[in-house]
Amino acid sequence: MKKIEAIIRKSKFDDVKKALHQIGVNFFSYWDVTGVGNEKEGHVYRGISYSTSDIQRRYLSIVISDDFLETTVNTILETAYSGNVGDGKIFVSEVLEAYRIRTKESGKAGIN
């Protein structure tokens, strides 16, 4: 099993969520987060300068079976992409075990 942690633009969240549901990822957790990015300069929008050092993003945590990793990562990459600085990051790590509390199922059955 793998755990995908994705940090994406809040404006792209609804599109990413819909795309994940379309490929069969029906369970994941998400949080609103603030982070610090590589870009240090501010931007000017309609004559008002604003800082981009603290960035509002959405953090997704998804646990999937190994064979579904590439499909899930590619879906997030394609859907969250805007081509601008600050599109986000995706991290993938190993999950040793998963349990569904209600049924006490473990492994792949615990996440499906």
Per-residue pLDDT reduced to its tens digit, 5-63: 999 999 999 999 999 999 999 899 999 998 876 665 556 666 666 565 667 899 999 99
Give how many domains the chain has, as a whole number.
Answer: 1
Confidence at residue 91, expressed as pLDDT on a 0 to 100 scale: 98
> Which CATH number is 56's domain given?
3.30.70.120
pLDDT value of position 56:
82
Q: State the pLDDT at residue 50.
A: 59
The predicted pLDDT at position 51 comes to 60
| β-sheet bridge partners, residue 55 | 35
> How far, in Å, CA of 80 to CA of 86, rounded?
10
Looking at this protein, which amino acid is placed at residue 67?
Answer: D
pLDDT at 7: 97
State the burial class of residue 72 (Cβ atoms within 10 Å of its Cβ: 0-12, 13-18, 19+): buried
Query: pTM to 2 decimals?
Result: 0.84
Least trusted range by pLDDT, from 6-10, 66-70, 91-95, 107-111:
107-111
The parent domain of residue 10 ranges over 2-110
